[in-house]
Structure 1
């Protein structure tokens, strides 16, 4: 059932500025934050609270945001299964000498135990996963869904998620001395954004299929936290 014109206009009035803010956030706002590691976590956690408050003010119900308590069990099942697949993949990659170097990341290599723990226990769960899942698998698809079809809302959220990763992709390329020259960097960034856009669509599908934001949260946590630990292990094993 399509939204009525008035409802569609209200949805667009909320979704359009949200798209602009999310497009700029990771590429223009985060780079200007203070360099202290905790600032990233504090600012993104605060943004999560503000966004949820804005979503509720826009009359988006909890179940459309993936936050209905009755769906937590389903979210745990689906997310746990996805996390298990990711964990198995990292374990196999670490055991294969020919594949292990692909896990390495220069940004992880220099971290000591305390810094690694901060990444895995605080920065990634609170500063990255919580914020991104609430924004891209919770609020944005729900907001877009009031104006366009569910498929279009899922695709739109995925595209914005891909754009969100322009700066992180550039940072990863620079840190690991990859893709010399503007053309190769441009191609690498485009591929990185396409991959993350596809991942965003998959995570949104998981949210919709399970009915709970917990499902993509668990998968995202596994991908990022276990990926960080796998990168650290790869550097130490070689």
Structure 2
């Protein structure tokens, strides 16, 4: 139990750091935090297989990852082609990126910062430690709830940068509060899906692949939509 609390404490501290430090420190902090969490898990007796990082699970995990990545791209491209759903891709945060910044965001910041830390933390370390102590159901519920709460701070600016979110939730404090609540619930549910992928595949690779495809492809298509499609 003390090691589990230590892992949660590390995540709480990192959540504050990554939302306050300059962007140049984001990836190093995330990598260091992921390494620290893995060390905590290993010191508490969690095996590589329990973390979803065992060698035997790699082939199966890669197969799942390829299928999931292809499915995400298909859904995104279909949504972008339909005028009704295209509005969701108009995001000022992506539109303001230069081509170089987009490449960095999609190929470095997302996979080696966001995805690495969040998957190691919530579907790797916390899920494995909670599963050993309380079983799969509680591990999925608790780690997914924490994953939702993890997104409170980064979702505070959603209505100011995404046209679809602004249209749904409105502006002002009420709009921000509603969008944050929706983000917490939405990411919590997504976390449960990621946990189930981790359980069924026996590997951390499928949730990593899905998470990376959702975020990186989302940035790339939002950037493209702001330049090649008009509202």
> TM-score when scaled to structure 1?
0.89
Q: Does 1:233 align with 2:229?
A: no
Deviation at 1:137? 0.6
Q: Which has the higher contact order (CA 8 A, sep 6+)?
A: 1
- The 8 Å contact of residues 92 and 161 in structure 2, kept in 1 or not, is answered as yes
Q: Counterparts of 2:212 and 2:17 in 1: how far apart (Å)?
A: 23
Partner of 1:111: 97
Partner of 2:39: 53
Task: For 1:64-143, list aligned pairs within 5 A.
Answer: 64-143=50-129
Partner of 2:5: 16
Partner of 2:196: 205
Q: Counterparts of 1:175 and 1:24 in 2: how far apart (Å)?
A: 26
Partner of 1:186: 177
Q: Counterparts of 2:51 and 2:119 in 1: how far apart (Å)?
A: 10
- The 8 Å contact of residues 163 and 193 in structure 1, kept in 2 or not, is answered as yes
- The 8 Å contact of residues 22 and 160 in structure 1, kept in 2 or not, is answered as no
Partner of 1:8: none
Which runs of 5 or more structure 1 residues have no equivalent in the other structure? 1-11
- The 8 Å contact of residues 61 and 203 in structure 2, kept in 1 or not, is answered as yes
Q: Counterparts of 2:159 and 2:85 in 1: how far apart (Å)?
A: 19
Which runs of 5 or more structure 2 residues have no equivalent in the other structure? none
Q: Counterparts of 2:161 and 2:121 in 1: how far apart (Å)?
A: 27
Partner of 1:150: 136
Report the RMSD for the aligned CA atoms in angstroms. 1.5
Q: How many residues align?
A: 224
